Chains A and B, each alone.
Chain A
Amino acid sequence: MTRRVPSYAAPALGFATLVAVFALLEVLIRAGAINRFVVPLPSQVIAAIPRIVAEEDIPHRFWQTTQEALWASVMLVVAGVGIGMLMFRFRLLRSACETWVAALASAPVVLMYPLFLVIFGRSATTIVMIGFAAGLPPVILKTVEGLAGTRNVLLDVGRSFRLDDWQLFRKILLPAALPSIFVGLRVGLIFALINIVGVEFLINFGGLGQLINELAERYDLPGTYGAIGFVILVSVLFFVACERAERWLLPA
């Protein structure tokens, strides 16, 4: 016999696990098993959050990083999905470029930041462009994969209803490929956000990444970890938005 699990059970368990991990860390650090000069006490990190919010202008920095990630996401959707569609449509383009795109996926794009600085200057555009370049390959590759993986019988159904090429794309290929496209977008967004915060850190410009850099240099470890918490919050925000968009477009 199976019992119905209440809807709040999963988030409650998730939260309890987080609390348990923090409690365990607290005990281990206080017991001296983990060096408190490397990992600060979770209680200190939590206590530092109101301080950095007030003193370090967290809302503005949070919004700056979110905005950069948002721009990179929009570009990933437009360009990444668009290039993926073109590569699916033109076989020669796909044969010529797919390996290069896959190679780019494993390239440490963040190390090319001096080149981006030369092109775009020490500005938010550099940060957005590096995030975009880092997130692009998975979006392209998963878009191509999703479109190419559409079952032939679904296309035959479309042809039997005499759909033209555009209708075939809009009514069958695209919805069939959406689950795969969303996998690409999720991975791409993660890559983009990591790189955005990384470049903010490296070029000491902009939102949360810059703050992490400054706090680390001041050796304010609780503040540094608190700021990292806000980066995770940005990531969660985008993940939830992505999930909502997928559920809206693909109700099944």
Chain B
Amino acid sequence: MLAVSDIVKRFGDGDDSLLAVDRVSFDITEGEFVSIIGPSGCGKSTLFNIIGGLVADYDGRVAVDGQAVSGTHPAFGMVFQDESAFPWRSVIDNVAFPLELAGLSRRERHEQARRFVSMVGLDGFERRFPAELSGGMRQRVAIARTLASQPRILLMDEPFAALDEQTRLLLGDKVLQIHQQLRQTTLLITHNITEAVQLSDRVLVMTYRPGRLKRAFDIDLPRPRTSEVVGSDAFGHYVAQIWSDLREEASRGIRDDESRQRNREERR
């Protein structure tokens, strides 16, 4: 369904240029939940923006159903890492935003939006404004708004990164329920191993700078899943395997950061 082939992205020119993403290729089939995991600075978010069409200047090809796409495409719905619920709109009007763009009447769009508000567990909060909600609830508003546009492929860039671990696990349950209900094809960008294993059919591990795909793990845990799966032996086994791959990359990232810091101090 989604085919990403040989994506290369470089920032800047000459000696100071940075190869952020290097020849990344993978496919996602209909209804599949795939996570891309990697240390900070590995180019995950750049890849997310390339696939979503927010970054134009790159090499390689993004295709949906065999058709190359460039720029933003109606097949994709994006959920961002930073809080993105519109503060001036109530929950229901936030969720109804893509339906408003589609030209639906107020009554129709509210009726449809209510279904997605309910799907993310925000019944009763329709008239509230983002400032009156918790961080986790605000991210659920953003997810519901993206789902309301009924994208064929849901792209999520660390949507729970700013939340505490317990909220993150419970929101993971919500995402699992939605995936179960809609059979929504999803690509999740994350740096959280537990989250990746809890939610995914497949986890792709990225290397630290330049971002390449290091390994793919098929997660063979039974569905429907809940956050209770984190207690199982198989879950622990997957987490340990991914961590052994990721550890090397994360350590390289930390060493790189430290040496840059040292260079900066020496230059001072």
Contact = CB atoms under 8 A, between A and B. Distances in A.
B84 A156 contact: yes
Interface string A42-84: 0000000000000000000000000000000000000000000
Contact of A156 (B54, B74, B86, B87): B54
A172 B86 contact: yes
B129 interface: yes
Given A161-B149, A162-B72, A252 B52 contact: no
Contacts of A161: 72, 97-98, 101, 149
A250 B54 CA distance: 29
Contacts of B76: 160
Interface residues of B, number: 28
Contacts of A172: 86
B80 A175 contact: no
B83 interface: yes
- Main secondary structure, interface of B, reads loop
Contacts of B74: 162
B12 to A, nearest CB: 20
Contact of B88 (A151, A162, A250): A250
Nearest to B102: A161
A176 B101 contact: no
A221 B78 CA distance: 67
Contacts of A233: none
A252 B149 contact: no
Interface residues on A, range: 10 to 19
Interface string B63-93: 0000000001010111011111011111000
Given A160-B77, A172-B86, 18 more contacts: A153-B82, A153-B84, A157-B84, A157-B142, A160-B52, A161-B72, A161-B97, A161-B98, A161-B101, A175-B89, A176-B87, A250-B88, A251-B90, A252-B87, A252-B88, A252-B90, A252-B129, A252-B130
Interface of A: 151, 153-154, 156-157, 159-163, 167, 171-172, 175-176, 178, 250-252
12 contacts: A153-B80, A160-B52, A160-B53, A160-B54, A161-B97, A162-B72, A162-B74, A175-B86, A175-B88, A176-B86, A176-B88, A252-B88
Interface of B: 52-54, 72, 74, 76-78, 80-84, 86-90, 97-98, 101, 129-131, 142, 145-146, 149
